[in-house]
């Protein structure tokens, strides 16, 4: 399936560079509400009251909950839509409202080449995916992720890389975003690397190479939003001192023409994080009974269906 011609400016920039920034996406009031909920969640998680965390020293899932809080700091909290999130209802609702907010989904639709949801119709072909949070390592020590593509291993040949990368003549099957609640310059990427194999220099570079040619530090102010192709060559560099609370999510397109291995691949990207175990119990009642709720329920249904079709999915990367 091809994207519309000409593509929207947002999609065009994402296709060209591999990322696109939307400044001041959140209002000051939204920022305050989400900061409060996130701070409470990070505090509960780092004291061991929420087991679904990313522990420092480990880059990819699965993370071992038994490591917290004894031997490790955390650099992320998983499953912000989980029905058992140990927060007051209004704080849990803040995450639900944000993830399914019409303004976020409408940008996602644009990137996924789906028509706008003008008639508030639930059948818009979006799929619920991931919603997590990335934070300053709570052990106070710096931590770095290696250069990687989220769903293509470093061992891939140039041909295998090309097979896994987005093809600009096709629609995106999903899109991923970071939404920092404080100034954030932790994400580093190589623009354009989402549509080409690694150069010889990139292939031979150390996985923790501090400076790859052409790299860009994505510098975001509180409330800015960045969408990026998660197979762009990227890494994270986290300071143990500078505040970081960045919401990190993704949303998919149900009918991107992927079948068989394609569905399994996307399902693996999402379900390897353990979402399948709780998605059917998630509570979206704060969205009421109108169009927003219908959209959310439709997105949930399509994720459940994707998991059913894909079966056992395994993990994308090891480490
Ligand atoms: O910290 C970030 O913004 C990037 C995270 C990342 O690369 C990952 O989770 O694979």
Q: How far is the CA of 296 from the centre of ligand 1 (A)?
A: 25
Averaged pLDDT, 162-168: 93
Atom 5, ligand 1: residue with shortest CA distance: 236
Task: Using pLDDT thresholds of 50, 70 and 90, give the confidence band for residue 129.
Answer: very high
What does the block give as tokens for 45? 């998680």
State residue 46 phi and psi, 5-degree precision: -75, -15
Residue pair 249/131 in contact (Cβ under 8 Å)? The answer is yes
What does the block give as tokens for 188? 């580093």
78 lines ligand 1 (CB under 6 A): no
Task: Give the model's pLDDT for residue 268.
Answer: 72
Task: Tally Cβ neighbours within 10 Å of residue 79.
Answer: 24
Averaged pLDDT, 117-146: 86
Q: Tell the residue number behind the tokens 């965390």, with chain if given.
A: 53
Task: Give the model's pLDDT for residue 6.
Answer: 77
pLDDT digits (tens, 9 = 90+) for 232-249: 999 999 999 999 999 999
Q: Check whether 148 has a pLDDT greater than 90.
A: yes
**Ramachandran assignment for 83, one of left (phi > 0), alpha (psi -120 to 50 degrees), beta (any other):** alpha
Averaged pLDDT, 142-160: 95
Residue 154's DSSP bridge partners are none
Task: Give the model's pLDDT for residue 46.
Answer: 92
234 lines ligand 1 (CB under 6 A): yes
Residue pair 110/10 in contact (Cβ under 8 Å)? The answer is yes
What is the edge-to-edge ordering of all strands in the sheet holding 187-189? 143-144, 234-238, 187-189, 216-217
Q: How far is the CA of 76 from the centre of ligand 1 (A)?
A: 10
Sorted by where each starts, the structural domains of the chain and their CATH numbers stand as 9-310 (2.60.120.620)
CA nearest neighbour of 143 among 245, 238, 243: 238
Task: Using pLDDT thresholds of 50, 70 and 90, give the confidence band for residue 115.
Answer: confident
- CA contacts within 13 A on the Cβ side of 168: 16
Task: Using pLDDT thresholds of 50, 70 and 90, give the confidence band for residue 252.
Answer: very high
Task: Using pLDDT thresholds of 50, 70 and 90, give the confidence band for residue 59.
Answer: confident
Task: Give the model's pLDDT for residue 258.
Answer: 52
Helix pair 261-271, 291-310: axis angle to 10 deg: 110
Give burial (CB, 10 Å; 0-12/13-18/19+) of 164: middle
Residue pair 124/237 in contact (Cβ under 8 Å)? The answer is no
Q: How far is the CA of 46 from the centre of ligand 1 (A)?
A: 19
Please state whether beta strands 216-217 and 187-189 pair in parallel, antiparallel, or not at all (unpaired): antiparallel
What does the block give as tokens for 136? 């300053």
Task: Give the model's pLDDT for residue 197.
Answer: 98
218 lines ligand 1 (CB under 6 A): no
**Which atom of ligand 1 is least distant from the CA of 238?**
1
For a ligand 1 pocket test, name from 130, 187, 319 the mutation site with the most ligand atoms within 8 angstroms of its C-beta.
187
178 lines ligand 1 (CB under 6 A): yes
**Which atom of ligand 1 is least distant from the CA of 218?**
3
Q: Check whether 121 has a pLDDT greater than 90.
A: no
State residue 154 phi and psi, 5-degree precision: -65, -20
Quick one: what percent of the chain has pLDDT higher than 90?
73
Q: What's the CA gap between 239 and 24, in Å, rounded?
A: 24
Q: How far is the CA of 234 from the centre of ligand 1 (A)?
A: 8
pLDDT digits (tens, 9 = 90+) for 7-48: 899 999 999 999 999 999 999 999 999 999 999 999 999 999
Atom 7, ligand 1: residue with shortest CA distance: 235
Quick one: what percent of the chain has pLDDT higher than 70?
89
pLDDT digits (tens, 9 = 90+) for 259-279: 555 666 677 777 766 788 899
306 lines ligand 1 (CB under 6 A): no
pLDDT digits (tens, 9 = 90+) for 191-214: 999 999 999 999 999 999 999 999
CA nearest neighbour of 113 among 266, 194, 7: 7
Task: Determine if the peptide bond prior to 69 is cis (ω within 30°).
Answer: yes
Residue pair 217/223 in contact (Cβ under 8 Å)? The answer is no
Mean pLDDT of the chain: 90
Q: Check whether 313 has a pLDDT greater than 60.
A: no
Task: Give the model's pLDDT for residue 318.
Answer: 60
CA distances from 176 to 60, 99, 172, 248, 293 (A): 16, 12, 11, 8, 22
Instruction: For residue 140, give the 3-state DSSP assignment.
Output: coil
197 lines ligand 1 (CB under 6 A): no
Q: Check whether 315 has a pLDDT greater than 60.
A: no
Atom 10, ligand 1: residue with shortest CA distance: 150
Residue pair 3/113 in contact (Cβ under 8 Å)? The answer is yes
- DSSP per position, 190-209: -TTGGGSPPPHHHHHS-TT-
Q: Check whether 49 has a pLDDT greater than 90.
A: yes
Atom 1, ligand 1: residue with shortest CA distance: 236
Pseudo-torsion of CA 223, 224, 230, 234, nearest 10°?
A: -100
CA nearest neighbour of 125 among 278, 299, 304, 309: 299
Instruction: For residue 305, give the 3-state DSSP assignment.
Output: helix
């Amino acid at each position: 399936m091809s994207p519309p011609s000409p593509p929207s400016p947002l999609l065009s920039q994402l296709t060209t560079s591999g990322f696109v920034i939307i400044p001041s996406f959140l209002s000051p009031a939204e920022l305050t509400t989400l900061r409060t909920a996130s701070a409470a969640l990070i505090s509960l998680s780092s004291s061991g009251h929420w087991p679904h965390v990313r522990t420092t020293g480990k880059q990819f899932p699965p993370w071992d909950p038994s490591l917290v809080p004894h031997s490790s700091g955390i650099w992320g909290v998983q499953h912000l839509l989980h029905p058992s999130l140990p927060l007051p209802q209004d704080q849990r609702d803040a995450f639900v409202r944000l993830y399914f907010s019409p303004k976020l989904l409408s940008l996602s639709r644009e990137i996924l080449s789906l028509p706008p949801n003008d008639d508030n119709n639930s059948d818009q072909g979006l799929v619920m995916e991931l919603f997590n949070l990335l934070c300053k390592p709570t052990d106070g020590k710096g931590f770095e992720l290696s250069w990687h593509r989220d769903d293509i291993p470093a061992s891939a040949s140039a041909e295998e890389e090309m097979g896994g990368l987005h093809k600009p003549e096709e629609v995106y099957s999903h899109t991923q975003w970071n939404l920092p609640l404080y100034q954030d310059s932790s994400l580093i990427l190589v623009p354009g690397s989402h549509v080409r194999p690694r150069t010889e220099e990139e292939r031979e570079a150390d996985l923790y190479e501090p400076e790859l040619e052409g790299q860009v530090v994505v510098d975001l102010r509180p409330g800015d939003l960045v969408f990026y192709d998660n197979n762009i060559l990227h890494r994270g560099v986290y300071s143990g001192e500078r505040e970081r609370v960045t919401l990190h999510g993704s949303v998919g397109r149900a009918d991107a023409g992927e079948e068989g291995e394609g569905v399994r691949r996307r399902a693996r990207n999402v379900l390897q994080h353990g979402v399948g175990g709780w998605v059917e119990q998630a509570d979206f009642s704060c969205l009421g009974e109108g169009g927003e709720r219908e959209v959310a329920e439709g997105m949930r249904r399509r994720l459940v269906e994707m998991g059913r079709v894909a079966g056992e999915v395994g993990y994308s990367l090891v480490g």
